[in-house]
Protein backbone atom coordinates (compact mmCIF):
# COMPACT_ATOMS: atom_id res chain seq x y z
CA UNK A 1 0.00 0.00 0.00
CA UNK A 2 1.77 3.14 -1.22
CA UNK A 3 1.61 6.56 0.39
CA UNK A 4 1.64 9.76 -1.66
CA UNK A 5 5.43 9.87 -1.27
CA UNK A 6 5.66 6.23 -2.37
CA UNK A 7 3.56 6.95 -5.44
CA UNK A 8 5.99 9.71 -6.44
CA UNK A 9 8.83 7.19 -6.38
CA UNK A 10 6.76 4.68 -8.35
CA UNK A 11 5.88 7.26 -11.02
CA UNK A 12 9.52 8.33 -11.32
CA UNK A 13 10.52 4.72 -11.95
CA UNK A 14 7.87 4.44 -14.67
CA UNK A 15 9.43 7.53 -16.25
CA UNK A 16 12.91 5.94 -16.05
CA UNK A 17 13.93 8.48 -13.42
CA UNK A 18 15.85 7.31 -10.37
CA UNK A 19 14.23 8.38 -7.07
CA UNK A 20 16.59 9.31 -4.23
CA UNK A 21 15.59 6.31 -2.10
CA UNK A 22 16.92 3.94 -4.79
CA UNK A 23 20.34 5.53 -4.31
CA UNK A 24 20.42 6.12 -0.56
CA UNK A 25 18.24 3.25 0.64
CA UNK A 26 17.00 5.47 3.45
CA UNK A 27 13.26 5.35 4.21
CA UNK A 28 13.41 9.05 5.08
CA UNK A 29 14.17 9.74 1.41
CA UNK A 30 10.87 8.24 0.21
CA UNK A 31 9.27 10.52 -2.35
CA UNK A 32 12.32 12.76 -2.78
CA UNK A 33 13.97 13.50 -6.14
CA UNK A 34 17.57 12.58 -6.89
CA UNK A 35 19.68 15.76 -7.16
CA UNK A 36 20.73 15.03 -10.75
CA UNK A 37 17.13 14.43 -11.86
CA UNK A 38 14.98 17.13 -10.21
CA UNK A 39 12.27 17.14 -12.86
CA UNK A 40 9.37 16.52 -12.49
CA UNK A 41 9.02 18.26 -9.17
CA UNK A 42 7.24 16.77 -6.18
CA UNK A 43 4.33 19.17 -6.73
CA UNK A 44 4.00 18.20 -10.37
CA UNK A 45 3.96 14.53 -9.40
CA UNK A 46 1.42 15.16 -6.63
CA UNK A 47 -0.83 16.93 -9.14
CA UNK A 48 -0.47 14.07 -11.65
CA UNK A 49 -1.27 11.45 -8.98
CA UNK A 50 -4.40 13.30 -7.88
CA UNK A 51 -5.35 13.82 -11.52
CA UNK A 52 -5.28 10.02 -11.91
CA UNK A 53 -7.55 9.68 -8.87
CA UNK A 54 -9.95 12.25 -10.36
CA UNK A 55 -10.06 10.29 -13.61
CA UNK A 56 -10.85 7.15 -11.64
CA UNK A 57 -13.67 8.92 -9.76
CA UNK A 58 -15.16 10.07 -13.06
CA UNK A 59 -15.42 6.46 -14.24
CA UNK A 60 -16.43 4.54 -11.13
CA UNK A 61 -17.41 5.40 -7.55
CA UNK A 62 -15.48 3.34 -5.00
CA UNK A 63 -15.95 5.29 -1.76
CA UNK A 64 -18.25 4.78 1.19
CA UNK A 65 -21.99 4.63 0.65
CA UNK A 66 -23.15 8.24 0.88
CA UNK A 67 -26.75 8.13 -0.29
CA UNK A 68 -29.52 5.52 -0.12
CA UNK A 69 -32.80 5.89 -2.04
CA UNK A 70 -35.82 3.57 -1.74
CA UNK A 71 -38.35 3.34 -4.57
CA UNK A 72 -41.86 1.92 -4.30
CA UNK A 73 -42.58 -0.22 -7.35
CA UNK A 74 -45.95 -1.38 -8.65
CA UNK A 75 -46.35 -4.80 -10.28
CA UNK A 76 -46.24 -5.17 -14.05
CA UNK A 77 -49.45 -5.79 -16.05
CA UNK A 78 -50.55 -9.37 -16.74
CA UNK A 79 -48.53 -11.23 -19.41
CA UNK A 80 -45.65 -8.73 -19.06
CA UNK A 81 -42.29 -9.89 -20.37
CA UNK A 82 -38.90 -8.20 -20.43
CA UNK A 83 -37.51 -5.25 -18.45
CA UNK A 84 -39.46 -2.91 -16.22
CA UNK A 85 -38.39 0.74 -16.25
CA UNK A 86 -38.69 2.61 -12.96
CA UNK A 87 -38.57 6.40 -13.10
CA UNK A 88 -35.86 8.05 -10.99
CA UNK A 89 -37.14 11.39 -9.74
CA UNK A 90 -34.18 12.23 -7.49
CA UNK A 91 -31.30 14.16 -9.01
CA UNK A 92 -29.06 12.61 -6.35
CA UNK A 93 -29.18 9.20 -8.02
CA UNK A 94 -25.99 8.36 -9.90
CA UNK A 95 -24.62 4.98 -10.91
CA UNK A 96 -25.60 2.80 -7.92
CA UNK A 97 -23.20 0.48 -6.19
CA UNK A 98 -25.84 -1.74 -4.65
CA UNK A 99 -29.43 -2.44 -5.77
CA UNK A 100 -31.67 -4.56 -3.50
CA UNK A 101 -35.21 -5.82 -4.19
CA UNK A 102 -37.78 -6.54 -1.46
CA UNK A 103 -41.42 -7.44 -2.00
CA UNK A 104 -44.63 -8.24 -0.13
CA UNK A 105 -43.80 -11.97 -0.41
CA UNK A 106 -40.67 -11.32 1.69
CA UNK A 107 -38.37 -12.05 -1.22
CA UNK A 108 -35.05 -10.23 -0.76
CA UNK A 109 -32.60 -10.15 -3.67
CA UNK A 110 -29.44 -8.19 -4.37
CA UNK A 111 -29.68 -7.49 -8.08
CA UNK A 112 -26.69 -8.01 -10.34
CA UNK A 113 -25.42 -5.32 -12.72
CA UNK A 114 -26.35 -6.17 -16.31
CA UNK A 115 -22.70 -5.77 -17.30
CA UNK A 116 -21.91 -8.95 -15.41
CA UNK A 117 -24.49 -11.02 -17.26
CA UNK A 118 -23.62 -9.47 -20.60
CA UNK A 119 -19.95 -10.43 -20.21
CA UNK A 120 -20.21 -13.73 -18.41
CA UNK A 121 -23.57 -15.35 -19.02
CA UNK A 122 -25.55 -13.42 -21.56
CA UNK A 123 -28.49 -11.16 -20.73
CA UNK A 124 -30.84 -12.28 -23.49
CA UNK A 125 -32.72 -15.03 -21.58
CA UNK A 126 -33.75 -12.54 -18.90
CA UNK A 127 -35.45 -10.37 -21.51
CA UNK A 128 -37.95 -13.15 -22.21
CA UNK A 129 -38.89 -13.86 -18.59
CA UNK A 130 -42.40 -13.09 -17.36
CA UNK A 131 -42.72 -10.76 -14.37
CA UNK A 132 -41.46 -12.24 -11.12
CA UNK A 133 -38.54 -11.49 -8.83
CA UNK A 134 -35.99 -9.18 -10.56
CA UNK A 135 -32.42 -10.47 -10.91
CA UNK A 136 -30.62 -7.82 -12.98
CA UNK A 137 -30.47 -4.01 -13.20
CA UNK A 138 -28.99 -1.25 -15.35
CA UNK A 139 -29.35 2.51 -15.70
CA UNK A 140 -31.46 3.65 -18.67
CA UNK A 141 -31.36 7.44 -18.87
CA UNK A 142 -33.49 8.76 -15.99
CA UNK A 143 -34.84 5.29 -15.22
CA UNK A 144 -33.70 2.14 -13.49
CA UNK A 145 -34.34 -0.98 -15.57
CA UNK A 146 -34.88 -4.34 -13.85
CA UNK A 147 -35.36 -7.77 -15.39
CA UNK A 148 -37.62 -9.63 -14.89
CA UNK A 149 -40.22 -7.03 -14.00
CA UNK A 150 -41.93 -7.06 -10.60
CA UNK A 151 -44.94 -9.36 -10.26
CA UNK A 152 -46.10 -7.95 -6.90
CA UNK A 153 -45.79 -4.61 -5.08
CA UNK A 154 -42.18 -4.15 -4.05
CA UNK A 155 -39.50 -1.76 -2.92
CA UNK A 156 -36.13 -1.33 -4.60
CA UNK A 157 -33.32 0.29 -2.63
CA UNK A 158 -30.34 1.89 -4.36
CA UNK A 159 -27.09 2.74 -2.57
CA UNK A 160 -24.72 5.29 -4.11
CA UNK A 161 -21.03 5.53 -3.26
CA UNK A 162 -18.76 8.51 -2.81
CA UNK A 163 -15.38 9.19 -4.38
CA UNK A 164 -11.82 8.19 -3.53
CA UNK A 165 -10.29 11.18 -1.68
CA UNK A 166 -7.29 13.02 -3.04
CA UNK A 167 -3.90 12.51 -1.37
CA UNK A 168 -2.81 15.62 0.51
CA UNK A 169 0.11 14.76 2.81
CA UNK A 170 3.06 12.49 2.06
CA UNK A 171 1.74 9.82 4.42
CA UNK A 172 -1.77 9.70 2.92
CA UNK A 173 -2.70 6.36 1.31
CA UNK A 174 -5.37 5.60 -1.27
CA UNK A 175 -8.62 4.58 0.37
CA UNK A 176 -11.18 2.02 -0.82
CA UNK A 177 -9.07 0.53 -3.67
CA UNK A 178 -7.25 -2.82 -3.17
CA UNK A 179 -3.47 -2.47 -3.27
CA UNK A 180 -3.17 -4.80 -6.28
CA UNK A 181 -5.32 -2.42 -8.34
CA UNK A 182 -3.64 0.84 -7.29
CA UNK A 183 -1.06 0.42 -10.05
CA UNK A 184 -3.60 2.27 -12.19
CA UNK A 185 -2.80 5.48 -10.32
CA UNK A 186 0.93 5.09 -10.91
CA UNK A 187 0.45 4.36 -14.61
CA UNK A 188 -2.06 7.13 -15.25
CA UNK A 189 0.09 9.66 -13.39
CA UNK A 190 3.05 8.62 -15.54
CA UNK A 191 0.93 9.25 -18.64
CA UNK A 192 -0.04 12.71 -17.35
CA UNK A 193 3.60 13.65 -16.71
CA UNK A 194 4.68 12.27 -20.11
CA UNK A 195 2.10 14.49 -21.80
CA UNK A 196 3.69 17.48 -20.06
CA UNK A 197 7.21 16.59 -21.20
CA UNK A 198 6.98 17.93 -24.73
CA UNK A 199 10.76 18.02 -25.13
CA UNK A 200 11.18 14.39 -24.10
CA UNK A 201 11.74 12.43 -27.33
CA UNK A 202 10.66 9.24 -25.58
CA UNK A 203 7.42 10.69 -24.20
CA UNK A 204 5.22 9.58 -27.10
CA UNK A 205 6.60 6.05 -27.06
CA UNK A 206 6.18 5.86 -23.28
CA UNK A 207 2.55 7.02 -23.50
CA UNK A 208 1.79 4.41 -26.15
CA UNK A 209 3.29 1.72 -23.93
CA UNK A 210 1.77 2.76 -20.61
CA UNK A 211 -1.70 4.03 -21.51
CA UNK A 212 -3.16 0.64 -22.58
CA UNK A 213 -1.92 -0.94 -19.34
CA UNK A 214 -3.43 1.91 -17.31
CA UNK A 215 -6.75 1.34 -19.10
CA UNK A 216 -6.54 -2.38 -18.31
CA UNK A 217 -6.14 -1.63 -14.59
CA UNK A 218 -9.03 0.84 -14.73
CA UNK A 219 -11.24 -1.85 -16.24
CA UNK A 220 -10.14 -4.22 -13.48
CA UNK A 221 -11.21 -1.67 -10.86
CA UNK A 222 -14.61 -1.28 -12.55
CA UNK A 223 -15.02 -5.07 -12.66
CA UNK A 224 -13.98 -5.41 -9.01
CA UNK A 225 -16.45 -2.74 -7.94
CA UNK A 226 -19.22 -4.44 -9.92
CA UNK A 227 -18.51 -7.69 -8.08
CA UNK A 228 -17.21 -9.52 -11.15
CA UNK A 229 -13.81 -10.23 -9.57
CA UNK A 230 -12.61 -10.50 -6.00
CA UNK A 231 -9.33 -9.52 -4.38
CA UNK A 232 -7.78 -10.62 -1.11
CA UNK A 233 -6.01 -7.30 -0.60
CA UNK A 234 -6.42 -5.06 2.39
CA UNK A 235 -8.57 -2.04 1.56
CA UNK A 236 -8.03 1.16 3.54
CA UNK A 237 -11.17 3.06 4.53
CA UNK A 238 -11.93 6.11 6.59
CA UNK A 239 -12.85 5.58 10.23
pLDDT category of residue 190 using cuts at 50, 70 and 90? very high
Pick the last residue of a domain from 116, 138, 161: 161
- Is residue 116 over pLDDT 70? no
Of the pLDDT bands very low, low, confident and very high (cuts 50, 70, 90), residue 136 is confident
Percent of the chain with pLDDT over 90: 36
Percent of the residues in the chain that have a pLDDT greater than 70, as a whole number = 84
Write down the pLDDT at residue 118. Answer: 58
Residue 110 pLDDT grade (very low, low, confident, very high; cuts 50, 70, 90): confident
- The verdict on 11 and 93 lying in the same domain is no
What mean pLDDT is predicted for residues 214-229?
Answer: 83
56 belongs to a structural domain: yes
Q: How high does pLDDT run on average in the chain? A: 84
Q: How far apart are CA 81 and CA 83, in angstroms?
A: 7
Q: Does residue 181 share a domain with residue 112?
A: no
Q: What's the farthest any 2 CA atoms get from each other in the chain?
A: 76
Give SS3 for 150.
Answer: strand
Domain membership of residue 174 as a residue range: 4-61+165-225
Provide the pLDDT for residue 222. 84
Are 202 and 190 found together in one domain?
yes
Domain membership of residue 155 (yes or no) is yes
DSSP string, 69-138: EEEEEPPPPTT-BS-EEEE---TT--S-SEEEEEETT--EEEPEEHHHHHHHT-SHHHHTPBSBS--EEE
Decide if 22 is inside a domain: yes
Answer whether residue 131 shows pLDDT above 80: yes
Most confident of 53-62, 91-100, 174-183: 174-183
Tally Cβ neighbours within 10 Å of residue 45.
Answer: 26
Q: Does 123 have pLDDT greater than 80? A: no
Alpha carbons 239 and 133: distance in angstroms, whole number:
36
**Per-residue pLDDT, 237:** 62
Q: Does any domain span residue 145? A: yes
Q: Is residue 17 part of a domain?
A: yes
Residue 145 dihedral angles phi and psi, to the nearest 5°: -100, 135
Q: Which of 144, 161, 178 is the last residue of a domain?
A: 161
The pLDDT of residue 112 is 83
Q: How many domains does the chain have?
A: 2
pTM: predicted TM-score of the whole model, two decimal places: 0.70
Domain for residue 237, yes or no? no
User: Are 149 and 94 contained in the same domain?
Assistant: yes
Asked whether residue 8 is domain-assigned, the answer is: yes
Beta bridge partners of 137: 113, 146
- Segment 33-51 shows an average pLDDT of 89
Q: Is residue 120 part of a domain?
A: yes
Amino acid sequence: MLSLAGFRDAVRRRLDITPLIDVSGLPTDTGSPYSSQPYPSNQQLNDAINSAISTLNAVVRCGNIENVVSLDVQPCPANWRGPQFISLQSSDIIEPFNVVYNDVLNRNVRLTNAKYYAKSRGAEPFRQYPAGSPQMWWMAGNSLAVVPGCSVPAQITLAMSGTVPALVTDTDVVQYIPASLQEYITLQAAVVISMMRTRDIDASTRIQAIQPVAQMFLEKIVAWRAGEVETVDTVTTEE
